[in-house]
Amino acid sequence: MVVVEQPEVRPPPADENRVQHFNSAMPDLQNPEIFRTVLDSLQTGVYLVDRNGKILFWNQGAERITGHMRHEVVGRTCRENILVHCNGQGCTDCGASCPFTAVLHDGKPREARLRLRHKEGHPVLSLMWIAPLRDAHGSIIGLAESFEEQRLTTDRDRRQQSLAASGCLDEITGVANREFTEFRMRENLASLAQYHLPFGVVCLQVNRIEEFRAAYGKQAGDAIVRVVAQTMRDSLRPGDLVGRWSPDQFLAVLMDCDSGGVQKTAERIRKVVACAGLRWWGDELSVNTSVGYGVAQTGDTIEAVVKRAQNTLQAPAEKTGAPATPKGAASGKS
């Protein structure tokens, strides 16, 4: 057997200098504060919790995405409604179905798509990665979680800017005003008459809004209707429209949608709005709404379609009370 000795391959001098420089810098890079600074400066949201859900670390990315500042969340638990995780079906992800509980149970990292509640109250669709933190013995001592906001479409943002420049949006809520909503409905009625393209509307009413304004002030009232409007808009397809029909009512105009689709959308809106809320001067406020829907018929007027949806407005029988109530009080949440 002949062994051919390979000549030693050495990196060129320039590479040797880089290796020496890297090795000399390693002690500094291994400083835990360096890693903490890097994590803190990421635009991706990153936070750490212990086994009881107490938040131990909250970076700048998490502040940017959720609106919650570090001093507001560190030391508190996820269960205090600081960062509500909604599964998109109108309920928070808690208990056995919670992906965080599952990771603690089996130690397997998980990816989850959740709606986080922004500090201003509206939901933020996020893609989250959850991984276990282990001690030197391999025992799970907490969780590391990173998340990114999932933008549904940039076309919607550009359209919003165009509508705002043309005076088509409601100044308080940022959704279409009544005039532009009527314009869209006239277009849809014409398409229904000529091409038989179905469409429907979902009507959402914020209950007892004047009582709420009297209790909490005009600014809080504006904030709560803005939360409702943004939540509705984020729950719909890009081609659908949400408009403010009156001070306490919103209409979602659903294009190319039959009776079954309109009914399902109405139920989805009801559930997702039920996850919305507002933290106001230390109080956690929830919103009470009624939701109805209607499908346009050939020969309808705008008034007829809207009236059909308004006639079906219903709030769950067990959900009564003020339009928004502080945490711990009798809930008026729908």
pLDDT in tens, 239-284: 899 999 999 999 999 999 999 999 999 999 999 898 888 878 878 8
User: What's residue 129's pLDDT?
Assistant: 93
Domain range holding 132? 29-149
- DSSP conformation letters of 296-323: --TT--HHHHHHHHHTT-B--TT--S-S
* Domain end marker among 94, 127, 149: 149
**How far is residue 229's CA from residue 122's CA, in Å, rounded to a whole number?**
9
* More confident: 35 or 314: 35
Residue type, 113: R
Residues 6+ apart with CB under 8 A from 97: 87
Q: Are residues 247 and 124 in the same domain?
A: no
* Tens of pLDDT, residues 103-141: 999 999 999 888 888 888 888 888 999 999 999 999 999
d(CA 331, CA 316): 12
**In terms of domains, do 159 and 200 share one?**
yes
Same domain, 163 and 294: yes
Q: Identify residue 165 by its one-letter amino acid code.
A: A
- For the chain, how many helices (H) and strands (E)? 11, 13
Residue 93 lies in a domain: yes
Residue 275 in contact with residue 94, Cβ under 8 Å? no
pLDDT at 164: 87
**pLDDT tier for residue 318 given thresholds of 50, 70 and 90:** very low
CA distance 126 to 95: 20
Same domain, 64 and 124: yes
Q: In the listed set 149, 166, 199, which residue is the last one of a domain according to the structure?
A: 149
Under 8 Å CB-to-CB from 157, ≥6 apart: which residues?
151
pLDDT one-digit tens code per residue, 212-242: 999 999 999 999 999 999 999 988 998 899 9
Domain count, the chain: 2
CATH code of 213's domain: 3.30.70.270
Q: List the structure tokens of 322.
A: 């003020």
- Residue with tokens 């009801």, as numbered in its chain: 270
Give the relative orientation of helices 259-275 and 218-234 as an angle to the nearest 10 degrees.
140
Percent of the chain residues topping a pLDDT of 90 = 53
Percentage of the residues of the chain whose pLDDT score is greater than 70 = 78
Residues 6+ apart with CB under 8 A from 326: 283, 284, 285
- Structural domain includes residue 320: yes
Whether 64 and 199 share a structural domain: no
Cα R_g (the chain), whole angstroms: 26
The answer on 321 and 214 residing in a single domain is yes
Same domain for 113 and 202, yes or no, is no
In a domain, 229, yes or no: yes
DSSP state of 151: -
Q: Are 241 and 94 found together in one domain?
A: no
DSSP H/E element including 253: strand 249-255
Strands of the sheet containing 283-287, edge to edge, are 277-280, 283-287, 324-325
Residue 91's pLDDT is 47
- Tokens standing for residue 279: 């933290």
Closest to 168 (Cα-Cα) out of 177, 160, 159: 177
Q: Report the DSSP pairing between strands 123-134 and 110-117.
A: antiparallel
Q: What local confidence, expressed as pLDDT, does residue 3 receive?
A: 42
What average pLDDT does the segment 77-90 reach?
Answer: 62
Which DSSP string do the residues of 71-123 spell out, in sequence order? Answer: HHHTTSBGGGTTS-EE-SSSSB--GGG-HHHHHHHH---EEEEEEEEPTTS-E
What is residue 140's predicted lDDT score, i.e. its pLDDT?
A: 95
CATH number at residue 48: 3.30.450.20
What is the H or E stretch that residue 33 is in?
Answer: helix 32-41
